[in-house]
Amino acid sequence: MLDLKGKTALVTGIANKRSIAFGIAKVMAAYGVRLALTYLPTGNAATESKFMALVEDLHAEVVLPLDVGDTDAMSAMVAEIGSRWGKLHVLVHSIAGAKREDLSGRFSETSLEGYQLAHEVSGYSLIGLVRAFRALLTVDGGSVVTLSYIGSTRVTPNYNVMGSAKAALEANVRYLAMELGADDIRINAVSAGPIRTLSAAGIRDFLDLLHNASTHSALKRNVEIEEVGQAVAFLASRASSGITGHVLFVDCGYNIYG
Ligand SMILES: NC(=O)c1ccc[n+]([C@@H]2O[C@H](COP(=O)([O-])OP(=O)(O)OC[C@H]3O[C@@H](n4cnc5c(N)ncnc54)[C@H](O)[C@@H]3O)[C@@H](O)[C@H]2O)c1
Protein backbone atom coordinates (compact mmCIF):
# COMPACT_ATOMS: atom_id res chain seq x y z
CA MET A 1 0.00 0.00 0.00
CA LEU A 2 1.49 3.34 -1.02
CA ASP A 3 1.52 6.10 1.56
CA LEU A 4 -0.34 8.89 -0.20
CA LYS A 5 -3.09 9.60 2.32
CA GLY A 6 -3.66 13.33 2.77
CA LYS A 7 -1.26 14.30 -0.04
CA THR A 8 -2.45 16.96 -2.44
CA ALA A 9 -2.52 16.36 -6.17
CA LEU A 10 -3.54 18.27 -9.26
CA VAL A 11 -4.65 15.95 -12.05
CA THR A 12 -5.13 17.53 -15.47
CA GLY A 13 -6.56 15.95 -18.60
CA ILE A 14 -9.83 14.23 -17.73
CA ALA A 15 -12.12 14.44 -20.76
CA ASN A 16 -14.32 11.42 -20.08
CA LYS A 17 -14.40 8.02 -18.34
CA ARG A 18 -11.90 6.59 -20.83
CA SER A 19 -9.27 9.26 -20.13
CA ILE A 20 -6.00 8.00 -18.67
CA ALA A 21 -6.25 10.93 -16.23
CA PHE A 22 -9.57 9.55 -14.98
CA GLY A 23 -7.86 6.23 -14.20
CA ILE A 24 -5.11 8.13 -12.41
CA ALA A 25 -7.55 10.26 -10.40
CA LYS A 26 -9.58 7.20 -9.38
CA VAL A 27 -6.47 5.43 -8.08
CA MET A 28 -5.28 8.59 -6.31
CA ALA A 29 -8.68 9.04 -4.65
CA ALA A 30 -8.60 5.41 -3.50
CA TYR A 31 -5.24 6.10 -1.82
CA GLY A 32 -6.79 9.01 0.07
CA VAL A 33 -5.19 11.78 -1.99
CA ARG A 34 -6.85 15.20 -1.85
CA LEU A 35 -7.59 16.11 -5.45
CA ALA A 36 -7.72 19.19 -7.62
CA LEU A 37 -8.93 18.59 -11.17
CA THR A 38 -8.95 20.63 -14.33
CA TYR A 39 -10.95 20.24 -17.50
CA LEU A 40 -10.62 21.88 -20.90
CA PRO A 41 -13.37 24.52 -21.15
CA THR A 42 -15.57 23.93 -24.18
CA GLY A 43 -18.27 26.52 -23.58
CA ASN A 44 -20.75 23.64 -23.82
CA ALA A 45 -22.83 23.46 -20.61
CA ALA A 46 -23.96 19.87 -21.27
CA THR A 47 -20.35 18.65 -21.65
CA GLU A 48 -19.30 20.45 -18.49
CA SER A 49 -22.16 19.08 -16.40
CA LYS A 50 -21.34 15.58 -17.73
CA PHE A 51 -17.76 16.14 -16.55
CA MET A 52 -18.96 17.25 -13.10
CA ALA A 53 -21.15 14.14 -12.81
CA LEU A 54 -18.25 11.90 -13.86
CA VAL A 55 -15.86 13.25 -11.21
CA GLU A 56 -18.42 13.57 -8.40
CA ASP A 57 -17.32 10.37 -6.64
CA LEU A 58 -13.70 11.56 -6.58
CA HIS A 59 -14.67 14.28 -4.06
CA ALA A 60 -12.19 16.72 -5.56
CA GLU A 61 -11.68 19.84 -3.44
CA VAL A 62 -10.92 22.03 -6.44
CA VAL A 63 -12.37 21.70 -9.95
CA LEU A 64 -11.51 24.44 -12.41
CA PRO A 65 -11.41 24.96 -16.16
CA LEU A 66 -7.92 25.15 -17.62
CA ASP A 67 -6.73 25.63 -21.15
CA VAL A 68 -2.95 25.39 -20.91
CA GLY A 69 -2.63 28.21 -23.40
CA ASP A 70 -4.54 30.55 -21.08
CA THR A 71 -2.08 32.12 -18.62
CA ASP A 72 -4.87 33.82 -16.64
CA ALA A 73 -6.60 30.48 -16.06
CA MET A 74 -3.24 29.00 -15.03
CA SER A 75 -2.69 31.83 -12.51
CA ALA A 76 -6.23 31.34 -11.16
CA MET A 77 -5.52 27.64 -10.61
CA VAL A 78 -2.26 28.37 -8.82
CA ALA A 79 -3.97 31.00 -6.63
CA GLU A 80 -6.83 28.64 -5.74
CA ILE A 81 -4.54 25.77 -4.79
CA GLY A 82 -2.17 28.13 -2.99
CA SER A 83 -4.90 29.64 -0.83
CA ARG A 84 -6.57 26.27 -0.15
CA TRP A 85 -3.58 24.00 0.48
CA GLY A 86 -0.53 26.27 0.55
CA LYS A 87 1.42 23.49 -1.17
CA LEU A 88 1.14 20.83 -3.84
CA HIS A 89 2.66 17.35 -3.57
CA VAL A 90 1.76 15.90 -6.96
CA LEU A 91 1.21 17.38 -10.41
CA VAL A 92 -0.09 15.09 -13.15
CA HIS A 93 0.20 16.34 -16.73
CA SER A 94 -2.03 14.21 -18.96
CA ILE A 95 -2.57 16.59 -21.85
CA ALA A 96 -1.96 16.24 -25.56
CA GLY A 97 -3.39 17.66 -28.73
CA ALA A 98 -2.71 17.78 -32.45
CA LYS A 99 -4.59 18.48 -35.65
CA ARG A 100 -6.35 15.39 -36.92
CA GLU A 101 -4.79 15.78 -40.37
CA ASP A 102 -1.33 15.54 -38.80
CA LEU A 103 -2.09 12.09 -37.38
CA SER A 104 -2.26 10.28 -40.69
CA GLY A 105 -0.36 9.97 -43.94
CA ARG A 106 2.95 11.61 -44.68
CA PHE A 107 4.92 13.12 -41.81
CA SER A 108 6.71 15.41 -44.27
CA GLU A 109 3.36 17.11 -44.99
CA THR A 110 3.06 18.38 -41.39
CA SER A 111 2.39 22.12 -41.49
CA LEU A 112 4.37 24.52 -39.30
CA GLU A 113 1.12 25.49 -37.61
CA GLY A 114 0.25 21.84 -36.90
CA TYR A 115 3.75 21.16 -35.62
CA GLN A 116 3.67 24.19 -33.34
CA LEU A 117 0.23 23.30 -32.00
CA ALA A 118 1.20 19.70 -31.18
CA HIS A 119 4.42 20.75 -29.49
CA GLU A 120 2.81 23.63 -27.60
CA VAL A 121 -0.15 21.68 -26.22
CA SER A 122 1.60 18.34 -25.67
CA GLY A 123 5.13 19.37 -24.68
CA TYR A 124 5.50 23.02 -23.80
CA SER A 125 2.45 22.83 -21.52
CA LEU A 126 4.46 20.66 -19.15
CA ILE A 127 7.08 23.39 -18.83
CA GLY A 128 4.39 26.03 -18.27
CA LEU A 129 2.61 24.00 -15.59
CA VAL A 130 5.82 23.18 -13.76
CA ARG A 131 6.91 26.83 -13.81
CA ALA A 132 3.51 27.95 -12.48
CA PHE A 133 3.39 25.38 -9.65
CA ARG A 134 7.08 25.26 -8.80
CA ALA A 135 6.81 27.29 -5.58
CA LEU A 136 3.91 25.18 -4.29
CA LEU A 137 5.70 21.93 -5.23
CA THR A 138 8.78 23.04 -3.33
CA VAL A 139 7.03 23.47 0.05
CA ASP A 140 6.99 19.75 1.02
CA GLY A 141 8.86 18.36 -1.99
CA GLY A 142 6.91 17.30 -5.03
CA SER A 143 6.47 14.80 -7.79
CA VAL A 144 5.46 15.62 -11.36
CA VAL A 145 4.30 12.90 -13.72
CA THR A 146 3.53 13.22 -17.42
CA LEU A 147 2.26 10.75 -20.00
CA SER A 148 4.25 9.65 -23.02
CA TYR A 149 4.13 7.00 -25.72
CA ILE A 150 6.71 4.77 -27.39
CA GLY A 151 6.14 6.68 -30.66
CA SER A 152 8.69 9.12 -29.18
CA THR A 153 11.56 6.80 -30.05
CA ARG A 154 10.09 4.27 -32.48
CA VAL A 155 8.27 5.01 -35.69
CA THR A 156 4.57 4.27 -35.22
CA PRO A 157 2.30 4.47 -38.29
CA ASN A 158 0.31 7.74 -38.35
CA TYR A 159 1.58 8.91 -34.95
CA ASN A 160 3.71 11.40 -36.89
CA VAL A 161 3.79 14.85 -35.26
CA MET A 162 2.89 13.36 -31.87
CA GLY A 163 6.03 11.25 -32.13
CA SER A 164 8.21 14.33 -32.30
CA ALA A 165 6.11 16.05 -29.60
CA LYS A 166 6.56 13.06 -27.25
CA ALA A 167 10.31 12.97 -27.99
CA ALA A 168 10.46 16.62 -26.94
CA LEU A 169 8.28 15.90 -23.90
CA GLU A 170 10.64 13.16 -22.70
CA ALA A 171 13.61 15.49 -23.19
CA ASN A 172 11.70 18.15 -21.22
CA VAL A 173 11.34 15.63 -18.38
CA ARG A 174 15.10 15.10 -18.23
CA TYR A 175 15.98 18.80 -18.35
CA LEU A 176 13.34 19.68 -15.77
CA ALA A 177 14.47 16.82 -13.51
CA MET A 178 18.02 18.17 -13.52
CA GLU A 179 16.84 21.68 -12.70
CA LEU A 180 14.20 20.83 -10.10
CA GLY A 181 16.07 18.18 -8.15
CA ALA A 182 17.67 20.80 -5.91
CA ASP A 183 14.16 21.87 -4.86
CA ASP A 184 13.25 18.25 -4.01
CA ILE A 185 10.91 18.06 -6.97
CA ARG A 186 11.07 14.88 -9.02
CA ILE A 187 9.65 14.54 -12.52
CA ASN A 188 9.05 11.38 -14.50
CA ALA A 189 7.05 10.15 -17.48
CA VAL A 190 4.90 7.07 -17.76
CA SER A 191 4.98 5.66 -21.28
CA ALA A 192 1.63 3.93 -21.54
CA GLY A 193 0.68 1.30 -24.06
CA PRO A 194 -2.12 2.25 -26.46
CA ILE A 195 -5.53 2.79 -24.88
CA ARG A 196 -8.80 3.61 -26.64
CA THR A 197 -9.40 7.23 -25.61
CA LEU A 198 -10.72 10.36 -27.25
CA SER A 199 -7.22 11.55 -28.19
CA ALA A 200 -6.24 8.13 -29.52
CA ALA A 201 -9.32 8.09 -31.74
CA GLY A 202 -7.74 10.92 -33.73
CA ILE A 203 -4.88 8.67 -34.90
CA ARG A 204 -5.71 6.97 -38.17
CA ASP A 205 -6.00 3.16 -37.92
CA PHE A 206 -5.67 3.30 -34.14
CA LEU A 207 -7.52 0.00 -33.73
CA ASP A 208 -4.78 -1.72 -35.77
CA LEU A 209 -2.20 -0.17 -33.47
CA LEU A 210 -4.13 -1.41 -30.43
CA HIS A 211 -4.38 -4.92 -31.84
CA ASN A 212 -0.70 -5.00 -32.81
CA ALA A 213 0.34 -3.88 -29.32
CA SER A 214 -1.69 -6.58 -27.59
CA THR A 215 -0.45 -9.29 -29.97
CA HIS A 216 3.19 -8.29 -29.54
CA SER A 217 3.18 -7.55 -25.84
CA ALA A 218 4.57 -9.95 -23.28
CA LEU A 219 1.25 -10.06 -21.43
CA LYS A 220 -0.74 -10.50 -24.69
CA ARG A 221 -3.20 -7.73 -23.87
CA ASN A 222 -3.56 -3.97 -23.73
CA VAL A 223 -3.01 -1.97 -20.58
CA GLU A 224 -5.91 -0.49 -18.54
CA ILE A 225 -6.16 3.11 -17.36
CA GLU A 226 -6.17 1.96 -13.71
CA GLU A 227 -2.83 0.17 -14.26
CA VAL A 228 -1.38 3.43 -15.54
CA GLY A 229 -2.92 5.08 -12.47
CA GLN A 230 -1.13 2.66 -10.13
CA ALA A 231 2.22 3.40 -11.79
CA VAL A 232 1.59 7.15 -11.53
CA ALA A 233 0.68 6.70 -7.85
CA PHE A 234 4.00 4.90 -7.30
CA LEU A 235 5.91 7.73 -8.98
CA ALA A 236 3.88 10.25 -6.96
CA SER A 237 4.71 8.54 -3.66
CA ARG A 238 7.89 8.50 -1.60
CA ALA A 239 8.22 4.81 -2.56
CA SER A 240 9.89 6.15 -5.72
CA SER A 241 11.98 8.78 -3.90
CA GLY A 242 15.17 7.84 -5.75
CA ILE A 243 13.65 8.04 -9.23
CA THR A 244 13.63 11.19 -11.37
CA GLY A 245 14.08 12.02 -15.05
CA HIS A 246 12.87 8.53 -15.91
CA VAL A 247 10.48 7.16 -18.54
CA LEU A 248 8.61 4.17 -17.09
CA PHE A 249 6.88 1.83 -19.55
CA VAL A 250 3.45 0.64 -18.50
CA ASP A 251 2.56 -1.24 -21.66
CA CYS A 252 2.20 -4.93 -20.80
CA GLY A 253 5.76 -5.43 -22.05
CA TYR A 254 5.24 -4.18 -25.63
CA ASN A 255 8.46 -2.13 -25.55
CA ILE A 256 10.67 -5.22 -25.24
CA TYR A 257 9.49 -6.62 -28.57
CA GLY A 258 12.15 -6.39 -31.32
N1 LIG B 1 -4.45 6.74 -25.32
C2 LIG B 1 -3.25 6.27 -25.59
O3 LIG B 1 -3.09 5.29 -26.33
C4 LIG B 1 -2.05 6.91 -24.95
C5 LIG B 1 -0.87 6.17 -24.84
C6 LIG B 1 0.26 6.77 -24.27
C7 LIG B 1 0.19 8.09 -23.83
N8 LIG B 1 -0.99 8.78 -23.96
C9 LIG B 1 -1.01 10.16 -23.47
O10 LIG B 1 -1.87 10.23 -22.35
C11 LIG B 1 -2.27 11.59 -22.20
C12 LIG B 1 -3.78 11.63 -21.99
O13 LIG B 1 -4.43 11.26 -23.19
P14 LIG B 1 -5.66 10.24 -23.24
O15 LIG B 1 -5.26 9.14 -24.15
O16 LIG B 1 -6.13 9.94 -21.89
O17 LIG B 1 -6.75 11.06 -24.06
P18 LIG B 1 -7.85 12.12 -23.55
O19 LIG B 1 -8.37 12.71 -24.82
O20 LIG B 1 -8.82 11.48 -22.66
O21 LIG B 1 -6.99 13.18 -22.74
C22 LIG B 1 -6.29 14.24 -23.34
C23 LIG B 1 -6.63 15.46 -22.54
O24 LIG B 1 -5.90 16.60 -22.99
C25 LIG B 1 -6.76 17.70 -22.78
N26 LIG B 1 -6.31 18.87 -23.53
C27 LIG B 1 -6.12 18.98 -24.87
N28 LIG B 1 -5.75 20.24 -25.17
C29 LIG B 1 -5.72 20.94 -24.00
C30 LIG B 1 -5.42 22.27 -23.65
N31 LIG B 1 -5.10 23.20 -24.58
N32 LIG B 1 -5.49 22.63 -22.34
C33 LIG B 1 -5.83 21.74 -21.39
N34 LIG B 1 -6.13 20.46 -21.66
C35 LIG B 1 -6.07 20.06 -22.95
C36 LIG B 1 -8.11 17.20 -23.24
O37 LIG B 1 -9.17 18.03 -22.78
C38 LIG B 1 -8.12 15.82 -22.62
O39 LIG B 1 -8.67 15.86 -21.33
C40 LIG B 1 -1.79 12.32 -23.44
O41 LIG B 1 -0.56 12.96 -23.16
C42 LIG B 1 -1.57 11.18 -24.41
O43 LIG B 1 -0.65 11.52 -25.44
C44 LIG B 1 -2.10 8.22 -24.50
pLDDT-above-70 percentage for the chain: 100
What's the 134 CA to ligand 1 centre distance in angstroms? 22
Catalytic residues: 149, 159
* Residue 227, in any domain of the structure: yes
Task: Give the Å distance between the CA of 103 and the centre of ligand 1.
Answer: 14
**CA of 195, closest atom in ligand 1:** 3
Quick one: what percent of the chain has pLDDT higher than 90?
Answer: 99
Mutating to test ligand 1, I would choose from 66, 95, 225 the residue with most ligand atoms within 8 A of its C-beta, which is 95
We report the CATH number of the domain holding residue 105 as: 3.40.50.720
Mutational test site, ligand 1, from 152, 170, 197, 208, max ligand atoms within 8 Å of CB = 197
Q: DSSP states of 139-201 as a string?
A: TT-EEEEEEE-GGGTS--TTTHHHHHHHHHHHHHHHHHHHHHGGGTEEEEEEEEPP---TTGG
The pLDDT value recorded for residue 80 is 98
22 inside domain? yes
Structural domain for 205, as ranges: 8-251
Tell me if 258 is assigned to some domain.
Answer: no
146 Cα: distance to centroid of ligand 1 (angstroms): 10
DSSP 68-133: TT-HHHHHHHHHHHHHHTS--SEEEE------GGGGSS-GGG--HHHHHHHHIIIIIHHHHHHHHH
Model pTM greater than 0.95? Answer: yes
Expressed in angstroms and rounded, the spacing between residue 179 Cα and the centre of ligand 1 is 25
Q: Does the CB atom of residue 152 touch ligand 1 within 6 A?
A: no
In a domain, 118, yes or no: yes
- Residue 1 included in any domain: no
In the predicted model, what is the mean pLDDT of the chain?
A: 97
For the chain, the domain total comes to 1
Q: Specify the ligand 1 atom closest to the Cα of 193.
A: 5
pLDDT band for position 177 (cuts 50, 70, 90) = very high
Residue 138 counted as domain residue: yes
Bigger pLDDT: 258 vs 28: 28
Answer yes or no: is 32 within a domain: yes
128 lines ligand 1 (CB under 6 A): no
Q: How confident is the model at residue 1 (pLDDT cuts 50, 70, 90)?
A: confident
Residue 115 pLDDT: 98
pLDDT digits (tens, 9 = 90+) for 108-134: 999 999 999 999 999 999 999 999 999
pLDDT at 258: 81
